[in-house]
Chains A and B, each alone.
Chain A
């Protein structure tokens, strides 16, 4: 148990039968994969200008993060940046593009439209409410449209996820988190009342008791006693 097993537990894991080399290779491969993402030229809407063109251009330089080789052919790409709303006519085509991409493949959904339908969530009869209903999404970058810096942060997050081996490989396993739903028999008023009570409790401080618990309290008590004796 030298440096490798003792100090680098994340990279090398202890397995019977000497599986050490394989796990090390995985880490090396993940490192290489994370730093050579090849995005697909696939933009549907406004986000494409910001996410695919402005980031690749002169002011914000995507090449700093090793992901500037935008490919027009799906077979050569492994990162799909869903930039914009996906409508029902486009959804099967996007699924086809995803399945044609080289494995392992990663997906970043940028912008409100690709995350949840965004401004087209209500009253639209064509927009798919979130691209993750069609393909599994690794990283969501919110914004309408997100700034290029936000996209870079999403890209760095994806790279970190790849290095740690946390991306989703199998489509259909991850479920969309339902954020608006509450458990049964719980109302918003109850939650608000509970929060208010908790805040009230936390904000009321018994000053004397709090002061007695401090490390300097004993010295102060001794000093007061000495002063009163004198």
Chain B
């Protein structure tokens, strides 16, 4: 299945037509780069007929910093902080992607303790990211209360990160061969105390927002995309799972400690905004389940298997590794020449870039207000698109 996406130039030079029954005129509207729905600075050009969306062309590039080119001047440890600044809501998982690729390529072995702590941290951050997304979606659709509740949990999980890692957003935690810092002695007790509270919070989210009639009307059967089309556009994460494709790298190619734990891959049936909403809520429950299984038996051992000042040189060739972040598969492709400790070429396969282009398939035929809920349900982080 091929998908044709028109460029902005093609859109601007195409003749505008009106094919509805009423005599209306088509027109183009810019949304962004400064727009409350943009969640950053994304520009979307929308071709409208009245209030009906006929075509959507995303115009990324307003936060393009050239991270991949910069990484050609940095060694593999120095790449890690820059992955924080791509998808900053799943910084730890981005770090993990680089660490995993480098470890696989260089043959560095880690111990159980490192993998378990990495998994717990990644799941905590997935919870944090989904809580933030839930709040922001509520705000986008007019429920400001949801915003306040979503950020309440984000701050509470953030305190645990701050105690262990020392950062609130840009973590720089998972390194090739281990972790940046060891966990504190009372880490497990604190997380265990937090889990029942988070369970209650997810139930609270349900009662606060899920049952709301307006909210359901705005999400149900809006922006449907079927599984084949989502896969053809390269979607990953909750977006493709909501369309019924059970693609979850944690289950399909287990890494870290995911092979040892029991959890379900949450899959939707319709592929509308509601499914994408509910898949994330269920994923929060699954994340809590994963942490519950791991938190009791964190094994002993060193928190890093290699020294930090060792120079890592990867063997010549192309190395690829990917992890499941809160938004989908984040992949790192490293081309190494085998001589220097810096990559010859580095590419990030970011989940948000592909998840963005699915709006071109979802939005046509819906109103402007539905377009807001469609874009909000994709959970886009713009710096990850632009890199």
A interface residues (Cβ-Cβ under 8 A, vs B): 40-46, 48-50, 53-54, 57-59, 72, 74, 84-85, 87, 89-90, 93, 97, 119-120, 122-127, 144-145, 147
Instruction: Please tell me if the beta carbons of A97 and B168 are within 8 angstroms of each other in the complex.
Output: no
Complex: chain B residue closest to A70, CB-CB: B36
Q: Which residues of B contact A144 (CB under 8 A)?
A: 170
Instruction: Please tell me if the beta carbons of A123 and B70 are within 8 angstroms of each other in the complex.
Output: yes
Beyond A84-B63, A87-B63, A93-B34, whether A58 also contacts B88 by CB under 8 A is no
Question: Per a CB cutoff under 8 Å, which of A84, A89, A125, A145 touches B168?
Answer: A145
Q: How far is the CA of A211 from the CA of B35 in the complex (A)?
A: 70
Instruction: Please tell me if the beta carbons of A124 and B169 are within 8 angstroms of each other in the complex.
Output: no
Instruction: Please tell me if the beta carbons of B61 and A89 are within 8 angstroms of each other in the complex.
Output: yes
Q: How far is the CA of A43 from the CA of B34 in the complex (A)?
A: 8
Interface residue ranges of B19-73 to A (CB < 8 Å): 33-36, 40-41, 61-67, 69-70, 73
Question: Per a CB cutoff under 8 Å, which of B64, B88, B136 touches A46?
Answer: B88
Instruction: Please tell me if the beta carbons of A58 and B169 are within 8 angstroms of each other in the complex.
Output: no
Instruction: Please tell me if the beta carbons of B151 and A58 are within 8 angstroms of each other in the complex.
Output: yes
Instruction: Please tell me if the beta carbons of A90 and B33 are within 8 angstroms of each other in the complex.
Output: yes
Does chain A have a CB within 8 A of B152? yes
Beyond A44-B41, A46-B88, whether A123 also contacts B63 by CB under 8 A is no
Interface majority SS on A: helix, strand, loop or mixed? loop
Interface 1/0s, chain B 221-248, versus A by CB < 8 A? 0000000000000000000000000000
Instruction: Please tell me if the beta carbons of B63 and A90 are within 8 angstroms of each other in the complex.
Output: yes
Instruction: Please tell me if the beta carbons of B152 and A87 are within 8 angstroms of each other in the complex.
Output: no
Instruction: Please tell me if the beta carbons of B62 and A89 are within 8 angstroms of each other in the complex.
Output: yes
Query: Separation in Å of the A102 CB from the closest CB of chain B?
Result: 15
Instruction: Please tell me if the beta carbons of B62 and A90 are within 8 angstroms of each other in the complex.
Output: yes
Query: Separation in Å of the A134 CB from the closest CB of chain B?
Result: 14
Enumerate the 9 nearest inter-chain pairs by beta-carbon distance, A residue then B residue, closest first: A57-B151, A59-B155, A46-B88, A72-B36, A58-B148, A123-B70, A90-B62, A58-B152, A123-B73
Q: Which residues of B contact A42 (CB under 8 A)?
A: 34
Complex: chain B residue closest to A50, CB-CB: B169
Instruction: Please tell me if the beta carbons of B73 and A46 are within 8 angstroms of each other in the complex.
Output: no
Interface 1/0s, chain B 75-119, versus A by CB < 8 A? 000000110110011000000000000000000000000000000
Instruction: Please tell me if the beta carbons of B34 and A89 are within 8 angstroms of each other in the complex.
Output: no
Instruction: Please tell me if the beta carbons of B64 and A87 are within 8 angstroms of each other in the complex.
Output: yes
Instruction: Please tell me if the beta carbons of B33 and A93 are within 8 angstroms of each other in the complex.
Output: yes
Instruction: Please tell me if the beta carbons of B62 and A93 are within 8 angstroms of each other in the complex.
Output: yes
Known: A46-B84, A145-B170. 17 other contacts (CB 8 A): A41-B34, A42-B34, A44-B40, A45-B63, A46-B170, A49-B89, A53-B151, A54-B151, A57-B150, A58-B149, A58-B155, A59-B155, A87-B63, A89-B61, A93-B33, A124-B69, A127-B65
Instruction: Please tell me if the beta carbons of A85 and B65 are within 8 angstroms of each other in the complex.
Output: yes
Instruction: Please tell me if the beta carbons of A45 and B33 are within 8 angstroms of each other in the complex.
Output: no
Question: Per a CB cutoff under 8 Å, which of B34, B63, B132, B150 touches A74?
Answer: B34
Beyond A57-B148, A124-B70, whether A90 also contacts B41 by CB under 8 A is yes
Instruction: Please tell me if the beta carbons of B154 and A54 are within 8 angstroms of each other in the complex.
Output: yes
Query: Separation in Å of the B82 CB from the closest CB of chain A?
Result: 7
Q: How far is the CA of A54 from the CA of B156 in the complex (A)?
A: 12
Q: How far is the CA of A107 from the CA of B76 in the complex (A)?
A: 37
Q: How far is the CA of A87 from the CA of B148 in the complex (A)?
A: 31
Q: How far is the CA of A152 from the CA of B134 in the complex (A)?
A: 26
Instruction: Please tell me if the beta carbons of B34 and A123 are within 8 angstroms of each other in the complex.
Output: no
Instruction: Please tell me if the beta carbons of A48 and B40 are within 8 angstroms of each other in the complex.
Output: yes
Question: Per a CB cutoff under 8 Å, which of A43, A59, A90, A124 touches B66?
Answer: A124
Query: Separation in Å of the A118 CB from the closest CB of chain B?
Result: 9
Does chain A have a CB within 8 A of B383? yes
Complex: chain A residue closest to B159, CB-CB: A59
Q: Which residues of A contact B320 (CB under 8 A)?
A: none
Does chain A have a CB within 8 A of B348? no
Q: Which residues of B contact A119 (CB under 8 A)?
A: 81-82, 85
Q: Which residues of B contact A126 (CB under 8 A)?
A: 64-66
Query: Separation in Å of the A128 CB from the closest CB of chain B?
Result: 10
